[in-house]
Each structure stands twice: as structure tokens, then as C-alpha cells.
Amino acid sequence: MSAAHIVIPPADLTAFVAAIVAAAGSAPREAELVSTNLVLANLSGHDSHGVGLVPAYVEFVKGGGLLANQHAKLTSDTGALLMIDGCKGYGQVIGHEAMQLGIARARAHGMALVALRNSHHIGRIGQWAEDCAAAGLVSIHFVNALLRPLVAPFGGSDARFATNPFCVGVPRASAPPVILDFATSRIALGKVRVAMQSEREVAPGTLIDGRGFATNDPHVMFEADATGRLGAILPFGEHKGYGMALICEILGGALSGGETLHGSEALTGIYNNMLSIVIDPARLGAASFGREMEAFIDWVRASPAAPGFDRVRIAGEPELEMRAHRAAGIPIDVNTWADMQAAAASAGLAPAGIARFAGLARPA
């Protein structure tokens, strides 16, 4: 049985998150960037990367693993190649600043390579591809994550790396961009957390327990068994997803100048390294680019819908549809909502303020 949900308007939810982040020590601009980024993830249907992260963020700030009011620090600049240190700051700020630098350099040089290391959790990677696409630029992103091992390698029985996302964004002249954004695991850890908070099982073939056996119970990722072992998420597509995760770890982690995951000790934050390639398609001089892309998209969409589907969609469309669907209100399970109010109190938000925001929610 699933847990009950509340529904809250996006603007009110954004204001609540901004108030929590500000109470935890962030300047107004930082609170704005963090809150709008997280709420947009919920609006897009990716609750795993949305406001449910706020309680963890508050704890990481209090523990010193997440540092408020940091900015992207340029450590190496060769024109089209940039090395950036995130200084353990909010990834919603660091990612935004890093992409703005990459966009400017891609416009100047035709392309840019941005190597970002040591950022706290940079959230939904699709956000950074959307930023580049809005500037008319193609972008490719390889990301690794440092928290604790979460995903088992193909053929392995325990976790050895994290969910290591991969993302590509492609602008279109008169339509929303193509945004391909996915974890290299079957699902992101946040989606396991959402299932647990919502009191639901995950789909078969997603998780293994601490002994390496298949399970549908999301608790195995957060609660150790009698022997002290946690479970693991499986890679998507068996050896294919595992192979992509390996490349994301090497390019996103090592090549960016950051670290790779090679230990089981839990860290005091969620850290990301990201290698981004940003390309100005206009500078390639390929006059047929837009025409050929649209011809291919039209060809693919013309495929008759399979049983159980209404039509063929391209990457990025489900998120846009969900944003329209959730524009009037975002559903949040009551367990997460309670955790957010507790986080607000822990951050120092006044009880009256918490009560005011809580009063804006309605039953789903």
C-alpha cells in the first residue's frame, strides 16, 4: 500500500524550500537557485532529484560536508578547456555557474570542455543540458557520484559505484530540445528513496539484497541486514549500463581532476564530478543539421503506437508533459513532507513560518 500524499502549488513549495535553505545559512540568490532547481525536478516528474533531498542537504550543511555560499572556482583556463573546483558548494549553484562559463566559451571558440570536480550534489543533470540547449548549444555530460557504493557491476553481487548519470542535450529551432538524461543504474537512488517513503516496492529486477539475491524491498538500500550489509541497485541493460557507468566514473571522475569511488566508507555529503562537452552547431557549418534531425524525429514519431502506448515520444517530452500536468500542484508523500518540516525546524526556520507553509498543502 502506498503512503498518502499532499499537493502543494509549485510557487509555494519553492518559497518553502528557499526559506529552509536560507535558514541553513545560504544567501538569497543561492536559496533561489537551489529551490527553483529542486522544484523543477519535481515538476518534471523526477521526485528523486527534487525537494525530498532537502532534509539530507540540511544535515550535510550542519555536518560540514556541504558548504553554503560557495562559487565555481576556475583552476585552469586554456580558452576552450576549463577546470573548475566546486568547493563542496551547492551543486545547483556550482552547476549553473559552470555551465554559464561553458556556454560563453563555446560561443567564443565553437566548443568547450568543462571539467568540474568537487561539487556537492548537482541534481538533475538534464537541467544543465537544458541550459546549454536554451543557448542554442549541444552538450554531452559524463558524471560520477561520491557518497557510498550503490550499484553492483554486471556479474557482481555487491555495490561498487554510484548511479553515474549520462546526459545529452540537443537544441531545436522551433521545438523543445531533445534532452536524454538517465542514471546508468536501473533507477536512481532517489527513486528507491521515493518508493520507500511512499511505502511501495520497486519493480522486479531492480535491486539485490546484502547477500546478492533479488529483492523488491527498497529498504535494503538504506537499512543494513543482520550481517551489516546493504543491498545494491543493478545496472540498466546488464553489461551495457555497467559499461556506461564505468566510462562515466573514469571521464566524469578521474579525467575531470576529481576522485573515483574506490571504498565503502560513507561520506559526509553527496559529491559529483562532471565532464561536459559543449558544442556550437552553427560553428560546424553543417547546414543540414536541423533539417536532418527533424526529418529523423518525424520518421521515428510516425511509428504506429505499440499496445499500451498512445504515441511515440522523444527524449525530453515526458518531462514537458509532466510539467504541464503538475503546474497546479506537486504531489509529495506525507513521510517526505514531514521530513521537510523537521528539516526546516533543524535549519532554524521559525515554527510560525513552518506552520504557514504546511497550511498551504492540501490532501491529494
Q: For the residues 32-60, what does the mean pLDDT come to?
A: 97
Distances (CA, A) of 52 to 39, 188, 192, 322: 10, 13, 12, 18
Contact 120, 269 (CB under 8 A): yes
Span 251-291, pLDDT tens digits: 999 999 999 999 877 789 999 999 999 999 999 988 899 99
Average model confidence (pLDDT) across the chain = 96
Q: For the residues 105-112, what does the mean pLDDT come to?
A: 98
Span 346-356, pLDDT tens digits: 999 999 999 99
Least confident interval from 15-24, 256-265, 310-319 = 256-265
- The domains of the chain, with CATH numbers, are 1-72+328-364 (1.10.1530.10), 78-185+237-294 (3.30.1370.60), 186-234 (3.30.60.50)
In the predicted structure, residue 1 carries a pLDDT above the cut 70: no
Q: For the residues 197-219, what does the mean pLDDT come to?
A: 96
State the Cα–Cα distance between residues 16 and 254, nearest whole angstrom: 37
In the predicted structure, residue 232 carries a pLDDT above the cut 50: yes
Contact 36, 239 (CB under 8 A): no
What pLDDT, on the 0 to 100 scale, is given for residue 364? 86
Q: What is the pTM of this model?
A: 0.94
Sheet holding 5-8, edge to edge: 330-333, 5-8, 362-363
CA-nearest of 156, 150, 119, 113 to 132 is 113
CA-nearest of 194, 195, 198, 219 to 209 is 219
Q: Which three cell numbers stand for residue 155?
A: 556479474
What pLDDT, on the 0 to 100 scale, is given for residue 312? 98
What pLDDT, on the 0 to 100 scale, is given for residue 266? 75
Span 123-137, pLDDT tens digits: 999 999 999 999 999
Which residues share a beta bridge with 278? 112, 139
In the predicted structure, residue 42 carries a pLDDT above the cut 60: yes
Q: For the residues 147-161, what does the mean pLDDT come to?
A: 96
Span 87-98, pLDDT tens digits: 999 999 999 999
DSSP state of 148: S
What pLDDT, on the 0 to 100 scale, is given for residue 2? 65
Span 156-196, pLDDT tens digits: 999 999 999 999 999 999 999 999 999 999 999 989 999 99
